[in-house]
């Protein structure tokens, strides 16, 4: 019997496995034949996320700022002297982290699908399509469509957004800037992006679930930017859980990563909060073995720990997301006109992609924004709560 079985061999599952394997017998079960495929991520992450990963993936590009285009065509550009994010090869990151987990002592079962589990006494009996395994602990790190999380009643994410992107053989005019587009015609309920890397540009977007499949919006965006069919090298798609789950712990079970809804609601990025939460998970599992207590009540401390670390950012970010989603294109244009000032652009230059809500709240305290946008933001906030 294993000490812990981790369902999901993506970067978060690998991070958890690496941390636990130092003192425990760990098995990782991954449904795909290789880690990192299919790719369902834009690959734009912070230097902190790279550091927390424990590996050094290839950096495809460093991004210093963004050109943000609003529905009426106004573009606000912000650029810092230091790079704000790096574009990495996500498939490579996943593979390197899986190898690190193996080097640290974790075992892997690939091409194996989790089916169900049941707890009897102090043992978790896990059924897969390749047979049964047993363990003392189960970690669900099986992504946005987590079957492990689904075993907990009334525990769905607050919402999902759907994303799609294409790698296009086209060099950007400025490879240090990401282009962002907002508005109901471009990406209702989220935003679109153009991320340059060498002779390629990654063009994609996410939309609210109610907007329907995002492929039509991507096709329109590609057409608007003049992309020809022969320039499209590859496409990928997926969905992102936002707003949190009711619980991230259960009897002999913990959730991690997208399965736990550890995703920044403003940007849709999940690696940094998930990697940080992995340390809280490992600490909790270690204590559970030390105390020989893996009950739901004992494991509830995990949720308290990760919320102390990243919970405030995720909660505030979701409140700001609801405010953003409730704004009309006209209100977004009005907001853009107000913030298109040198002093506010300087504030934007100091933003941190891992803590976007901090920047948003600092901006809301700016005298110009307080005076001109307070009524708009208040109305949007009220609509967002309805």
Report the SS3 class of residue 68: strand
What is the rounded average pLDDT of the residues 204-228? 94
Q: What is the pLDDT of residues 85-120, one digit of tens each?
A: 999 999 999 999 999 999 999 999 999 999 999 999
On average, the pLDDT of the chain sits at 90
Share of the chain above pLDDT 90, in %: 77
Determine the Cα angle at 305 with ends 299 and 309, to 5°. 155
- Determine the Cα–Cα distance for residues 366 and 188; give it in Å rounded to an integer: 27
Q: pLDDT by residue (tens digit) across 267-288? A: 999 899 999 999 999 999 999 9
Task: Tell me which of 166 and 42 has the higher pLDDT.
Answer: 166
The pLDDT value recorded for residue 180 is 95
Ordered structural domains, the chain, with CATH: 2-39+48-54+89-157+245-310 (3.50.50.60), 59-87+158-242 (3.30.9.10), 319-385 (no CATH)
In tens, the pLDDT along 301-357 reads 999 999 999 999 999 999 889 888 988 999 899 888 887 767 666 666 666 677 776
What's the confidence (pLDDT) of residue 364? Answer: 65
Using one digit for the tens of pLDDT, what is the confidence trace for 237-257? 999 999 999 999 999 999 999
CA 95 to CA 101: how far, in whole Å?
A: 10
Average pLDDT over every residue of 211-236: 93
CA pair distance 119, 251, nearest whole angstrom: 8
Q: Give the mean pLDDT of 196-216.
A: 95
Residue with the two structure tokens 């390197």: 96
Helix 356-364 crosses helix 342-349 at what angle (to 10 degrees)? 160
Q: What is the pLDDT of residue 381?
A: 45
Max CA separation in the chain (angstroms): 64
Instruction: Identify whether 353 is preceded by a cis peptide bond (ω within 30 of 0).
Output: no
Across the chain, the runs of DSSP E, i.e. the strands, are 2-7, 26-29, 44-45, 59-63, 65-69, 75-79, 85-88, 107-109, 114-120, 123-128, 131-140, 159-168, 177-181, 192-197, 200-208, 232-242, 249-250, 253-255
pLDDT-wise least confident of 181-185, 190-194, 302-306, 320-324: 320-324
pLDDT at 336 (0 to 100) = 86
pLDDT digits (tens, 9 = 90+) for 323-332: 889 889 998 9
Comparing C-alpha atoms, which of 110, 90, 109, 81 is closest to residue 41?
Answer: 90
Is pTM beyond 0.85? Reply is yes
């Amino acid at each position: 019997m294993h000490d812990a079985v981790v369902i999901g061999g993506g970067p978060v599952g690998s991070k958890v496995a690496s941390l636990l394997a130092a003192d425990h017998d760990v098995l990782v079960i991954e449904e795909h034949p290789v880690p990192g495929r299919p790719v369902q991520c834009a690959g734009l992450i912070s230097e902190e996320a790279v550091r927390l990963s424990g590996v050094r993936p290839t950096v495809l590009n460093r991004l210093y700022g963004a050109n943000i285009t609003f529905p009426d065509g106004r573009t606000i550009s912000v650029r810092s002297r230091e790079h704000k994010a790096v574009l990495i090869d996500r498939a490579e990151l996943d593979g390197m982290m899986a190898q690190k987990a193996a080097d640290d002592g974790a075992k892997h079962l690939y091409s194996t699908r989790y089916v169900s589990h049941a707890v009897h006494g102090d043992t978790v009996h896990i059924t897969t399509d390749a047979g049964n395994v047993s363990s003392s602990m189960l970690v669900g790190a099986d992504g946005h469509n987590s079957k492990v999380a689904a075993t907990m009643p009334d525990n769905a994410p607050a919402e999902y957004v759907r994303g799609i992107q294409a790698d296009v053989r086209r060099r950007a005019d400025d490879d240090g800037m990401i282009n962002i587009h907002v508005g109901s015609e471009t990406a209702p309920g989220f935003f679109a992006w153009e991320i340059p890397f060498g002779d390629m540009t990654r063009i994609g977007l996410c939309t609210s679930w109610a907007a329907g499949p995002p492929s039509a919006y991507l096709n329109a965006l590609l057409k608007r930017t003049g992309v020809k069919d022969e320039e499209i090298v590859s496409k990928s798609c997926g969905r992102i859980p936002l707003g949190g789950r009711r619980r991230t712990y259960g009897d002999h079970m913990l959730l991690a990563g997208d399965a736990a809804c550890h995703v920044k609601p403003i940007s849709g990025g999940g690696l940094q909060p998930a990697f940080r939460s992995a340390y809280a998970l490992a600490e909790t599992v270690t204590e559970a073995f030390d105390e020989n207590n893996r009950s739901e009540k004992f494991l509830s401390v995990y949720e308290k720990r990760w919320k102390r670390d990243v919970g405030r950012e995720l909660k505030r970010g979701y409140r700001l997301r609801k405010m953003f989603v409730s704004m009309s294109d006209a209100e977004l244009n009005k907001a853009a006109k107000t913030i298109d000032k040198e002093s506010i652009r300087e504030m934007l230059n100091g933003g941190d992609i891992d803590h976007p809500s901090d920047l948003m709240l600092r901006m809301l305290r700016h005298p110009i924004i307080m005076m001109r946008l307070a009524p708009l933001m208040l109305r949007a906030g009220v609509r967002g709560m309805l």
